[in-house]
Amino acid sequence: MTDAAPSYLADQRRHKGLAGWIFSTDHKRIGVLYLWSILTFFSVGVLIGVVMRLKMLWPGEHLYSAAAYNAFFTVHGVIQIFLFIIPGIPAAFGNFILPLQIGAKDVAFPRLNLLSWWVYVVGAILALTALLSGNGPPDTGWSFYVPYSLRTNTNVTLAVFAAFILGFSSILTGLNFITTIHRMRCPGMSWFRMPLFTWSLYATAWIQILATPILAITLILVMAERILNLGLFDPARGGDPLLYQHLFWIYSHPAVYIMILPAMGVISEVIPTFCRKNIYGYKAIAFSSLAIAFVGYLVWAHHMFTSGMSDTARMVFSLLTFLVAIPSGVKVFNWIATMYKGSIKIEPPMLFAMTFLFLFSIGGLTGLLNGALATDINVHETYYVVGHFHYTMFGGTGMGFFAALLYWFPKMTGKMYNKRTIVVAWAHIFVGFNMLYFTMMIMGWMGMPRRYYSYPPEFHTYHVVATIGSWLLAIGVFMFLGAFIAALRKGQPATANPWESATLEWQTPSPPPTENFHDIPTVTGGPYEYKGGHPA
Amino acid sequence: MSTPTHTTHEYHPDSTGSKIAMWLFLFTELLLFGGMFLLYAVYRAKNPADFHYASLNLDTKVGAINTGILLTSSLTMVLAIGMLERRNRKASFWLLVITIAFGVWFLINKYIEWSHKIHHGIYPGSEELIGRTAGENLFYSLYFLMTGLHGIHVIAGLIVLGFMAWMVARPHQRSLPISALSAEARPNAVSVTVEYGVDPKLDEQKLIRLENAGLYWHLVDVIWIFLFPLFYLIS
């Protein structure tokens, strides 16, 4: 191959046009396929969120029925969790960037990788079918708690089956990444020379493999109960509904680390690049990812403090919950220490990385109140939890996802977006976000329960502020996404290394050729070595 | 799959990598069943006497025969792999056929056992069961759920083994040196065939697949080894 090797976008293989994408085993094309699919569902999820907030402008019955409201919050949750945040960063950016970062030509199992995208699409189609057919979309909340999920006539069985299928996609991606990282690192790429994004994907992949099967069996049980009437969760027949909650959270708590760890990996890439400095505490960040993956597996029952568990269990889970805050804190302090005395350049990716730090810290600190038994009892099932969750997941993972998009978009497409538009969009997002979710936390603190269709008049002002915030946030998000569409049409060409970053993915052209590197690179140093403001 | 006209892009002769991925997949299977073992543990701890009583009604003889069948099928599976390693494709093929036959026999026994129970009105949510104790209800729900899901795994395993038998029966693909390719195929070809030199009598790719299929079949066996005492031998 010569220097003129065509980019992966131009390289014509066996299939042409759309087929050249949906049947491609190239990790970069699959990453882009995932990105498009995920952004589409994310936009739908945002719109449903806006519709939910719209109803909350006034108390009482108007706009649509309470049953529709139940369906909206369920569908919003199912889409944003199973179709956006969980696959989000690993499937889109992990697929594209991981092999580039370790100097590989592709992932270990390219066809399995394509299969995982197809499985994702099938899962998504089933999910949409569940929403639009039968007795209407599920109205159980995304957690499908029994006994209600077994009694409701809505399309729960199909929705649960869709989530089950999506789990397969997640598992396939996980085992592909682990094998890739173990087997396909280029010469010289030792474990402690791997970029931290790769480390975070490694930790995430382990959680995907170890936790997702528990979700699978939980969802199988819901389906089996609905179809075969096993009675395993029916107290009248000796069953225990609490066990459903245990099984559900054994997966779904580790799942929040599937969501957040890759975002933390993105931040660990962006911060050293824009501070022109080696990352502070490389090994501490790498190991804290593994520690989060491990301890995060053991904290699930903190979702069930009010469920009637024994006090011993509650105290143990509360303690473990506080322990998992330690590795998260280690990361935040290391990022800030990296910025200290760095020559910080606030480009769009850095702007969103700093937003991540700010919002995720609020999310993390407010989470401690949920981890403590005494306070959690009061705020459980209130808007406080909703606010906290969105600060960590949207303010954390969402901002990490945006930072990743801004950071790697020039690499993926060879185009640069309009930075000014991004800053304007950011201002909308930042103001709208805090108006919406901080107000929610205040309301929750005052006792506003979540998932309620109406509310007493004293909450009216707060709901109006939150709803206006949701408009600003949505405008910001769509302005942000629009900037990328505009860049695809008429963006300036991007250079191979527009951010002057030191990691491997920037040492190949933008967009990269199909085989990724002209020659397989040999690595001789750490991933974040800068000298005089340039990669060493 | 990896005909020489493909680029390196789609050619991954990494047997260790395949094994790693297979073991990871087996972990996920264990955890899947782990969720149900968790339910079993809790419900049996709550209703020890009912579980004991319900277990009396299961036919230990059939369970023991089925255990023997699956264990023997694991043996024939290993022998099939050994025979392919020794380049005896024919023996490998027939051993796979025997393994499949054992699997089918297992399912037939299971079918007879289940229909017997259902015939006596014992199935989840049946009139007969509702009248009995909570523990018995739970026992039979778990019994049908866990052996049922295990049965689905046996069926999946049989499909995989069927494919393996077909694969082993086919003659090995002999990879061609680049000079033997047609003119238009040549620019896309990579010298993997020269580097990895496929032995015409032993196709590594097939062996890896057969070994991985074997791992899966053993997993199905191992899970049954846990199910058997937990349902049949606790009385």
Question: pLDDT grade, residue B10 (50/70/90)?
Answer: very low
For residues A469 and A436, is the Cβ–Cβ distance under 8 A? Answer: yes
**CA B90 to mean position of chain CA atoms:** 22
CA-based angle A503:A504:A505, to the nearest 5? 100
From chain A, the residues in CB contact with B29 under 8 A are 213
Q: Does A209 contact B28 at a Cβ distance shorter than 8 Å?
A: yes
Pick left, alpha or beta for residue B192 (phi over 0 → left; psi -120 to 50 → alpha; otherwise beta): alpha
pLDDT at B9 over 50: no
**Alpha helices in A56-155, H assignment, sequence order:** 66-78, 86-87, 95-101, 110-132, 148-151
User: Per residue in B24-54, pLDDT tens?
Assistant: 999 999 999 999 999 999 999 999 999 999 9
pLDDT score of A135: 83
Instruction: Determine contact: B187 vs chain A, CB below 8 A.
Output: no
Q: How many CB pairs under 8 A join A and B?
A: 120
Query: What chain B residue is nearest to A208 in terms of C-alpha separation?
Result: B28
Q: Does B27 contact A209 at a Cβ distance shorter than 8 Å?
A: yes
For residues B9 and A110, is the Cβ–Cβ distance under 8 A? Answer: yes
**A132 exposed, middle or buried (CB, 10 Å; 0-12, 13-18, 19+)?**
exposed
pLDDT score of A237: 86
Residue identified by tokens 């579980």 is B51
The CATH number for B15-232, chosen from 3.40.50.720, 1.25.40.10, 1.20.120.80, 3.10.180.10, is: 1.20.120.80
Instruction: Determine contact: A223 vs chain B, CB below 8 A.
Output: no
Residue among A105, A110, A237 minimizing CB distance to B137 = A237
From residue A415, alpha-carbon distances to A35, A78, A156, A406, A484 in Å are 16, 33, 43, 11, 9
From chain A, the residues in CB contact with B144 under 8 A are 228, 230
Residue among A175, A214, A240 minimizing CB distance to B21 = A175
Q: Mutating which of B2, B9, B38 best tests the A interface, going by the most A Cβ atoms within 10 A?
A: B9
Instruction: Determine contact: A175 vs chain B, CB below 8 A.
Output: yes
pLDDT at B194 over 60: no
**A30 exposed, middle or buried (CB, 10 Å; 0-12, 13-18, 19+)?**
buried
- Please determine, for the modelled complex, whether the ipTM score is greater than 0.85: yes
Instruction: Determine contact: B20 vs chain A, CB below 8 A.
Output: yes
Q: Does B138 contact A105 at a Cβ distance shorter than 8 Å?
A: no
Q: How far is it, in rounded angstroms, from Cα B197 to Cα A303?
A: 56
**CA B151 to mean position of chain CA atoms:** 10
Q: Does A231 contact B12 at a Cβ distance shorter than 8 Å?
A: no
Q: Does B20 contact A171 at a Cβ distance shorter than 8 Å?
A: no
From chain B, the residues in CB contact with A228 under 8 A are 124-125, 144
From chain A, the residues in CB contact with B8 under 8 A are 105, 515
**CA A161 to mean position of chain CA atoms:** 21
Residue among B16, B25, B142 minimizing CB distance to A183 = B16
From chain A, the residues in CB contact with B21 under 8 A are 108-109, 112, 175-176, 178-179
Instruction: Determine contact: A204 vs chain B, CB below 8 A.
Output: no
Measure B7 CA to nearest chain A CA, in Å.
Answer: 10
Instruction: Determine contact: A226 vs chain B, CB below 8 A.
Output: no
Instruction: Determine contact: B8 vs chain A, CB below 8 A.
Output: yes
For residues A6 and A513, is the Cβ–Cβ distance under 8 A? Answer: yes
From residue A360, alpha-carbon distances to A194, A367, A448, A497, B174 in Å are 25, 10, 23, 29, 57
Q: How far is it, in rounded angstroms, from Cα A52 to Cα A76?
A: 9
Residue among B9, B36, B138 minimizing CB distance to A217 = B36
Q: How far is it, in rounded angstroms, from Cα B103 to Cα B80?
A: 15
- Along the 536 residues of chain A, how does pLDDT read in single tens digits? 445 678 898 887 777 788 889 999 999 999 999 999 999 999 999 999 999 999 999 999 989 999 999 999 999 999 999 999 999 999 999 999 999 999 999 999 999 999 999 999 999 999 989 888 878 888 888 889 988 898 888 889 999 999 999 999 999 999 999 999 999 999 999 999 999 999 999 999 999 999 999 999 999 999 999 998 888 998 888 889 999 999 999 999 999 999 999 999 999 999 999 999 999 999 999 999 999 989 998 999 999 998 888 999 999 999 999 999 899 999 999 999 999 999 999 999 999 999 999 999 999 999 999 999 989 989 999 999 999 999 999 999 999 999 999 999 999 999 999 999 999 999 999 999 999 999 999 999 999 999 999 999 999 999 999 999 999 999 999 999 999 999 999 999 999 999 999 999 999 999 999 989 988 899 998 999 988 778 87
Question: pLDDT grade, residue B156 (50/70/90)?
Answer: very high
From chain B, the residues in CB contact with A176 under 8 A are 21
From chain B, the residues in CB contact with A216 under 8 A are 32
pLDDT score of B185: 55
Q: Does B32 contact A214 at a Cβ distance shorter than 8 Å?
A: yes
User: Per residue in B115-151, pLDDT tens?
Assistant: 999 999 888 888 888 888 889 999 999 999 999 999 9
pLDDT at B201 over 70: no
Spell A320-344 as b/e; 16+ CB within 10 A means b.
bbeebbebbebbbebbeebbeebeb
- What is the token pair recorded at A371? 């981890």
From chain B, the residues in CB contact with A240 under 8 A are 42-43, 46
Measure B137 CA to nearest chain A CA, in Å.
Answer: 7
The SS3 assignment for A64 reads strand
Task: Write out A408-477 in H/E/C secondary structure.
Answer: HHHHHHCEECCHHHHHHHHHHHHHHHHHHHHHHHHHHHHCCECCCCCCCHHHHHHHHHHHHHHHHHHHHH
Measure B176 CA to nearest chain A CA, in Å.
Answer: 21
Residues 106-145 (A) with a CB less than 8 A from some CB of B: 106, 108-112
Please give the residue that has the higher pLDDT: either A364 or B194.
Answer: A364
CATH 1.20.210.10 at A19-528, yes or no: yes
Residue among A112, A218, A231 minimizing CB distance to B35 = A218
DSSP-assigned letters across all residues of B174-207: PPPPGGGS-TTTGGG--THHHHH--BTTB-HHHH
Which distant-in-sequence residues (6+ apart) come within 8 Å of B165 by Cβ? B93, B96, B97, B100
Which distant-in-sequence residues (6+ apart) come within 8 Å of B19 by Cβ? B208, B211, B212
Question: pLDDT grade, residue B199 (50/70/90)?
Answer: low
Instruction: Determine contact: A225 vs chain B, CB below 8 A.
Output: no
| C-beta neighbour count of B184 within 10 angstroms | 8
**CA B1 to mean position of chain CA atoms:** 23
Residue among B34, B38, B145 minimizing CB distance to A230 = B145
Q: Mutating which of A23, A214, A232 best tests the B interface, going by the most B Cβ atoms within 10 A?
A: A232
Residues 85-124 (B) with a CB less than 8 A from some CB of A: 124
**A369 exposed, middle or buried (CB, 10 Å; 0-12, 13-18, 19+)?**
middle
For residues A401 and A88, is the Cβ–Cβ distance under 8 A? Answer: yes
